[in-house]
Amino acid sequence: MASRSAARPASEEEEDAEGTAPRTRGLLRALGLTLASTLVWGVAHLRVGRRWAGALLLGLFLALAAAGTVAGLFFRSDLLQLAVRPDWLTGLAAGILTLGLLWITVVIRSYQIVRPETMSLGARSAGVAGVILLCFAVALPTAWAGYSTYLYRDALTSIFRTGDSHGRPINIKDPWNGQRRVNVLLLGGDAAANREGVRTDSMTVASIDTKTGDTVLLSLPRNLERVPMPQGPARDRFPYGFTGDGPATPGLLNEVYQYAEDHPDVVPGARKNERGPELLKATISGILGIPVDYYVLVDMFGFADIIDAIGGVKIKITQPISYGLEGGVLQPGDRTLSGKEALWYGRSRTNSDDYTRMGRQKCLLRAIARQADPRTVLTSFDRLAAATKRAIATDIPQELLPAFITLSNRFNDGGQVTSLQFVPPLIYTGNPDFALIRRLAAQAVATSPESASPSASPSPSASASRSTSPQAGRTPGATSSKQPTRQTKPVSLDATCP
């Protein structure tokens, strides 16, 4: 009796083991089919004979995949233009979230139709855990994509406002209103904690050909003196050129921005934080003899945050550069600079001068543009969006962003960048020859080789500018510094960067 009694539990264990194996295989099969349906919709439905539902899901999945592939391969430029339209971004974010919810529904329903009818509590728990894991695998990337799209739209609408700031109509079919060139003033603002206001220590006009995307960079030094002011209250106050606002401001070009902010009467009708850009745009337009359409201001300290967000910037340093108050030195060589180091690389004047610094700033901007690849941007998108909102101000309207994207595409198809810096010995900043500056600017942006040559006569527009703008800073008997002919042509930006 005892032997039979002892043998009975053993036989029951064998029966349980024989029943558990099929149930385990059934659970693994169900999870495998659910995984397959997660990767390709409709697999589970087709496997259990639900042909119409399976075919519908599979067709929808293939249609979405094909549409994404075709758009990425053949309509990339159109996608880039849509990517700067807030209304489309709102729809895209909603579409991504809807897709995520639909995908999760497919995952759950696929498991429901293929799971075994009878399972132990442990098997049911394992099945539910597997489905939850698959749902998370779908939900996390779609939620991240939707959130990133929202962040991008928020940054876009924060930086770029709707409508032209001057009330000019924007024709979508001809956004440049027939202009041969669009001129954008690029400003680097130094709003340090130990100084009041903003000093625009970097001032460059990017003159862009609206047909080809070819760009000429016209750089003005921060210490240009007695610059002629635009007609109106500003010229009435400074008829012989800008002379500053007392002993603390000697009257340099980089002080015009903050002077306008502190003196609303020189830019009547402009609001706070718009007075500085408006007066500086008009002033630089008069200096160069070309219209300045828009501006972009980058705060240097916010700029450091942007560099940190993309993981630093790689650049070649040719000679030691002192930085910081602790006596730090950026050593020569191929280096990856942090935001703080890059800021000092672009700002340091120790054992150097303003003009060398201007050249380093342009090389730094070019290095960042080359290294901010899509992978880097995507992996640090939230930090980059937040830093960009803090660092950038502009009056470029949202409606023009697609047109600027088109110009960028044309430039990438073979456009060229040339640079002309109005620095010594070409221009003496203490007593500038503004007529020469306007003549060289007109030559630099000319399209024909004949008009771009140093011996060419000034264009009519340049002559008109000279006749209407006062020769600020010129004293009786003063002579212009002699300009070497070989330096009057714009040079390639690549030639100045190691």
Structure tokens at 174: 């001809």
286 neighbors 229 (Cβ within 8 angstroms): yes
Higher-pLDDT residue of 388, 469: 388
Q: Provide φ and ψ at 477, rounded to 5°.
A: 85, -5
Q: Are residues 152 and 55 in the same domain?
A: yes
Higher-pLDDT residue of 11, 473: 11
In a domain, residue 1? The reply is no
| Residue-range definition of the domain harbouring residue 140 | 15-159
Whether residue 403 has pLDDT greater than 60 = yes
User: Domain end: 106, 124, 159, which one?
Assistant: 159
Share in percent of the chain as helix, strand, coil (round to 5): 55, 10, 35
Q: Are residues 93 and 192 in the same domain?
A: no
- Cβ neighbours of residue 261 closer than 8 Å, sequence gap 6 or more: 197, 198, 272, 273, 275, 276
CA angle 455-457-463, nearest 5°? 145
Q: How far apart are CA 53 and CA 496, in angstroms?
A: 63
Instruction: Name the one residue in this structure whose structure tokens are 């004949």.
Output: 450
- Cβ neighbours of residue 237 closer than 8 Å, sequence gap 6 or more: 229, 266
Alpha helices in 325-424 (DSSP H): 339-347, 354-371, 374-379, 381-391, 401-412
Supply the pLDDT for residue 162.
82
Q: Are residues 191 and 102 in the same domain?
A: no
Whether residue 488 has pLDDT greater than 80 = no
Q: Are residues 121 and 234 in the same domain?
A: no
Q: How far apart are CA 94 and CA 41, in angstroms?
A: 21
How many residues would you count in the chain?
A: 498
pLDDT band at 277 (very low <50, low <70, confident <90, very high): very high
In a domain, residue 169? The reply is no
Q: State the CATH number of the domain containing residue 192.
A: 3.40.630.190
In a domain, residue 407? The reply is yes
In a domain, residue 171? The reply is no
In a domain, residue 421? The reply is yes
Whether residue 284 has pLDDT greater than 90 = yes
Amino acid identity for residue 483 in this structure:
Q
pLDDT band at 326 (very low <50, low <70, confident <90, very high): low
Q: Are residues 77 and 136 in the same domain?
A: yes
DSSP structure string for 155-223: HHHHHS-SS-TT-----SSSTTTT-SEEEEEEEEEE--TTSSS-EEEEEEEEEEETTT--EEEEEE-TT
Q: Are residues 28 and 149 in the same domain?
A: yes
Closest to 192 in 3D by CA, of 274, 340, 273, 300 = 300
Whether residue 349 has pLDDT greater than 80 = no
Higher-pLDDT residue of 127, 474: 127
Amino acid identity for residue 291 in this structure:
P
Least confident of 169-183, 235-249, 428-442: 169-183
Q: What are the contacts of 233-237 at 24+ separation with CB within 8 A? A: 233/265, 233/266, 233/267, 233/268, 234/260, 234/266, 234/267, 234/279, 234/282, 234/283, 235/470, 237/266
Supply the pLDDT for residue 375.
62
State in Å, rounded, how far the first CA of the chain is from the last one: 96
User: Domain end: 159, 192, 214, which one?
Assistant: 159
pTM of the model: 0.73
Q: Are residues 75 and 217 in the same domain?
A: no
The total number of structural domains in the chain stands at 2
In DSSP terms, 321 is beta-bridged to 330
Q: Are residues 304 and 367 in the same domain?
A: yes
Q: Are residues 130 and 259 in the same domain?
A: no
In a domain, residue 176? The reply is no
In a domain, residue 9? The reply is no
Supply the pLDDT for residue 455.
31
Q: Are residues 272 and 387 in the same domain?
A: yes
Supply the pLDDT for residue 47.
92
pLDDT in tens, 30-48: 999 999 999 999 999 999 9
pLDDT in tens, 371-381: 766 666 666 77
Structure tokens at 243: 């002379």
Higher-pLDDT residue of 467, 81: 81
Please state the rounded mean pLDDT for residues 451-455. 34
In a domain, residue 174? The reply is no
Q: How far apart are CA 240 and CA 286, in angstroms?
A: 14
Supply the pLDDT for residue 195.
54
Q: Provide φ and ψ at 209, rounded to 5°.
A: -70, 120
DSSP structure string for 72-130: HHH-HHHHHHHTT-HHHHHHHHHHHHHHHHHHHHHHHHHHHHHS-SS--HHHHHHHHHH
310 neighbors 243 (Cβ within 8 angstroms): no
Q: Provide φ and ψ at 445, rounded to 5°.
A: -95, 0
Q: Are residues 343 and 420 in the same domain?
A: yes
Q: Are residues 105 and 230 in the same domain?
A: no
- Cα 7 to Cα 4, 17, 20, 214, 283, distances in angstroms: 5, 16, 21, 92, 103
pLDDT band at 275 (very low <50, low <70, confident <90, very high): very high
Output b/e per residue, 135-145; b: 16+ Cβ within 10 A: beebbeebeeb
Supply the pLDDT for residue 328.
77
In DSSP terms, 317 is beta-bridged to 333
